[in-house]
Structure 1
Amino acid sequence: MQLKTLRPQILVITAALALIIGMFFLPRVIINKDKQGALSKAGAARDKGAAPAAGEESHEGHAHAPGEGHDAEEVAHVEATPQQLGELQLLRRQYDQEQNSGNRLKLATQLGEKYAAISKYDSAGYFYEQAANARPGETAYQKAADQYFEAFSFAATEDRSKVLGEKARSLYDKVLKNNPANLDAKTNIAMTYIASESPMQGITLLREVITADPNNEKALFNLGILSIQSTQYDKAVERFEKLVSINPKHVQGNFYLGVALAESGKKQEAEVALKKAKTLSDDPGFQTSVDNELSKLK
């Protein structure tokens, strides 16, 4: 599945978009300023007409009822096979009827895995959360938080992003209580804040991550994207140059380095970075985006 092999997903963001909307998509954007008034997503087919899996029920306290009412733009899932749907239905029935806490823990974990396999991230997060509540710990809470963060990253509406972002953040807070040095959790918390009414709180957290680990790839990437969004292209170049020096095969890092260099007027350097990015992924959508950026340099 292309979405799994090349993240972030490809977006078209126009200059007219409000900064905070752009920030919401920061972990997963590729910028293309050619089209005005458009916001499109590519790189993965959406199953826009998929019906909820048979037999799926609501759960109290869940950010979204498992398998029900997913936004088409958010779900971004591979179409579940009849076998997968049948397995989910059976496991859900077993989970709802099971009284033994140990068996419920195993079933919750299995359900989390199977929902994650079809990219129904909020449902996966819900069941991983049940497992974490039954057997608390840093790893268990992070597994649940990561799934909610994935759902947050694909949310198509402001309301959904708020709900899922808050859910991910609350679980990451539990991760940090177990291990305050978990920088991955702190970085993801930062991104949920950047998409909220408190973006500066997120930027502060990202800077804390960089202070603790100057070579943190995820924080460097997100700070670089923030610099592009705020048209601080020299700062963006600095962030992405460091990122690709740490990880020369970072696909998006090389791409955005090219974008930032181009915006800084350094066309020759931009061409080198973009052509390198193109060699690092065969994703058709990504290849098209690189070609579009290269064409602007002529």
Structure 2
Amino acid sequence: MNKIRKQQIIIIGAVILLIGFLFTRDIKGLVKEKEETPAATAAPQPVAAQIDLQSVSATAKNLISNATAKEITSLEDAYKSASGAEKLKLGKQLAQKWDDLEQSAPSALYLEQVAQNESSLNNWVLAGERLLKAFDNTQDSLVKPAMLQKANLAFEKAISIDSASADAKTGLGITIVNGMGAPMQGIAMLMDVVKKDPKNFKANMNLGTFALKSGQFDKAVTRFENIIKDIKATPDAYFYLGTAYENLGKNQEAIDAYQHSKKLAANPTLSNFIDKKIAELKK
């Protein structure tokens, strides 16, 4: 196995792990093999309209208990017949219920409807963030691009309300880098957020992950070290720092970072993975 291929496997493995155990969607789904990079600049297909809430909800109900599915169906029936403030209340309740069940797709679509019925900066940002979470969490070839397109539209609507919103600009930048435009345009947007707000956690994390994706491991190390030191020491920041160090061949630094990630995450599955990785690095 050549060095480049090995680096790709390390990066992809790290992202898959974090998708499962660390992130709630801030920045999942960001790392792909380098051969796939040109596809990121292709014009996205208009698939968002093909996704409807009813079918997404029906699919999600197959993944939960019958009792919980019946409870949600009852809430959905009430939602369909409601109007005004009651409909907004039930929409938010359903979004939270689905999110608690770790079913981000129906949760996101309910928040999208809430924002459509009550257009505000906060509602569109919340919808966009949940739609990004759904994009990150699904491997469905139809749902995934639809969620990204919907997230892009939600953040555009948020920016139309407040063009200075760091959350809206960060979210929009993430969607652009992931395929809703030229990647450098999205990175420039995130850089602008960080320039104005150097301690913006989400924007910095995404810039670090994009550096990792593009093989700029030295830049990734600097970004994640600064995040840990000056913003927030999180399990994912330490894990990505370890991944960057591992790709640079700095095994002891990687081990130290992975151990910090393990300690902060306190996740048995992650701990087992890291223990195996550390054992390999010590060989």
TM-score relative to the length of structure 2: 0.76
* Shift of residue 171, structure 1, vs aligned partner: 1.0
* Shift of residue 4, structure 1, vs aligned partner: 8.8
Cα deviations by residue, 1:175-203 (Å, 9 ceiling, x for unpaired): 22223232222222222212215222221
CA spacing shift, 1:157–1:111, aligned 2, 3 Å: closer
1:3-82 → structure 2 map (5 Å cutoff): 6-7=22-23, 18-20=35-37, 64-66=51-53, 68=55, 79-82=63-66
Does residue 171 (structure 1) correspond to residue 154 (structure 2)? The answer is yes
Q: Which has the higher helix share?
A: 2
1:69-218 → structure 2 map (5 Å cutoff): 79-98=63-82, 100-196=83-179, 198-218=182-202
Segments of 5+ residues of structure 1 without an aligned counterpart are 24-60
Cα deviations by residue, 1:156-178 (Å, 9 ceiling, x for unpaired): 14543322111011111122222
Matches of 2:217 and 2:265, distance apart in 1: 24
Matches of 1:4 and 1:158, distance apart in 2: 19
Residues 108 and 130, structure 2, Cα contact 8 Å, conserved in 1:
yes
Residues 244 and 250, structure 1, Cα contact 8 Å, conserved in 2:
yes
CA spacing shift, 1:95–1:248, aligned 2, 3 Å: closer
Cα deviations by residue, 1:76-106 (Å, 9 ceiling, x for unpaired): x9943333222221222222233x4333233
Aligned residue for 2:51, secondary structure, equals coil
Match of 1:58?
A: none
Matches of 2:182 and 2:251, distance apart in 1: 36
Which one of 258, 270, 276 corresponds to residue 274 of structure 1? Answer: 258
Greater RCO, CA 8 A, separation 6+: 2
Matches of 1:285 and 1:78, distance apart in 2: 25
Matches of 1:277 and 1:88, distance apart in 2: 36
* Shift of residue 214, structure 1, vs aligned partner: 1.6
Aligned residue for 2:227, secondary structure, equals helix
Cα deviations by residue, 1:49-86 (Å, 9 ceiling, x for unpaired): xxxxxxxxxxxx866232525899xx6x9943333222
Match of 1:241?
A: 225
Aligned residue for 2:265, secondary structure, equals coil
CA spacing shift, 1:130–1:229, aligned 2, 3 Å: closer
* Shift of residue 251, structure 1, vs aligned partner: 0.7
CA spacing shift, 1:138–1:68, aligned 2, 3 Å: same
Does residue 264 (structure 1) correspond to residue 248 (structure 2)? The answer is yes
Cα deviations by residue, 1:109-129 (Å, 9 ceiling, x for unpaired): 222222222233232222222
1:222-237 → structure 2 map (5 Å cutoff): 222-237=206-221
Residues 135 and 143, structure 2, Cα contact 8 Å, conserved in 1:
yes
CA spacing shift, 1:102–1:287, aligned 2, 3 Å: same
Aligned residue for 2:53, secondary structure, equals coil
Which one of 240, 260, 274 corresponds to residue 290 of structure 1? Answer: 274
Aligned length: 255
* Shift of residue 290, structure 1, vs aligned partner: 2.1
Which amino acid in the other structure matches residue 268 of structure 1? Q
Matches of 2:217 and 2:210, distance apart in 1: 10
Matches of 2:135 and 2:76, distance apart in 1: 24
TM-score relative to the length of structure 1: 0.72
